[in-house]
Amino acid sequence: MPRLRHYDNLGTARFVTFTCFRRHRYLTTQIARDIVLAGVSHLRSYRHIRILGWVVMPEHVHLVLMPPDGCALGDAIGRFKAWTSRKILSDPAYTGRVLRRDDGRRALWQRRCYDHNCRTQDVVREKINYCHLNPVKRELVRHPSDWPWSSYNWYRGEGQIVLAIDGLEL
């Protein structure tokens, strides 16, 4: 398979999407979501990546990030996926439900991720709104504020905040 190219060091925010292996709904438990959000917090703390927006869906994650200069985002996301995989798949609740790759290894995430360089603030806002509307579009909730696993409530200053973000000051 050809390698996907990631364009780092452009000074732009990035919209990143990664999906669970074969779109399996691994992210439906509180434990799994908490592990994913802990991984996002780790990106902020140890990789110095600013979190601008996010949503955790049952089988995929969208992030709007602002990586610092010199950050290889593909490597950071790869390490995030490896760490969250180990944590989530070691949870006894997943025994017997874990899908395996052709080589027999357990799999949580698809091998690749999609990323998009957001060249303007308007595009950044568009991607954040996309994150917030994703649960509504998928008919999981009627209003974005009803989905606690996104940055929507942080932006609106309402409801319980599961993971604070760094805001839009680019």
Q: What is the dihedral of CA 128, 134, 136, 137, to 10 degrees?
A: 130
CATH of 13-156, one of 3.30.70.1290, 3.30.230.10, 1.10.10.10, 1.10.730.10: 3.30.70.1290
Q: Profile the chain (170 residues) by mean pLDDT over runs of 10 residues.
A: 48 90 93 95 92 97 92 89 92 74 88 88 96 97 95 86 76
User: Residue 75 carries which side chain, given as an amino acid letter?
Assistant: D
User: How far is 165 from 25, CA to CA, in rounded Å?
Assistant: 25
pLDDT of 112: 84
Q: How confident is the model at residue 4, as a pLDDT?
A: 45
Spatial contact of 125 and 133, defined as CB atoms under 8 Å apart: no
What is the spatial distance between Cα 148 and Cα 161, in angstroms, rounded to a whole number?
7
Mapped onto helix, strand or coil, the DSSP state of residue 140 is coil
CB neighbour class for 131 (10 Å; exposed up to 12, middle 13-18, buried from 19): buried
CA dihedral 117, 121, 122, 126 (to 10 degrees): 60
Count of helix runs (H) and strand runs (E) in the chain:
4, 6
pLDDT at position 85: 94
User: Where are the chain's structural domains?
Assistant: 13-156
Alpha-helical regions (H) of 2-160: 30-47, 73-89, 121-137, 152-156
Find, among 147, 10, 111, the residue nearest to 65 by Cα.
10
Q: What is the pTM of this model?
A: 0.88
Q: What is the reported pLDDT for 1?
A: 43
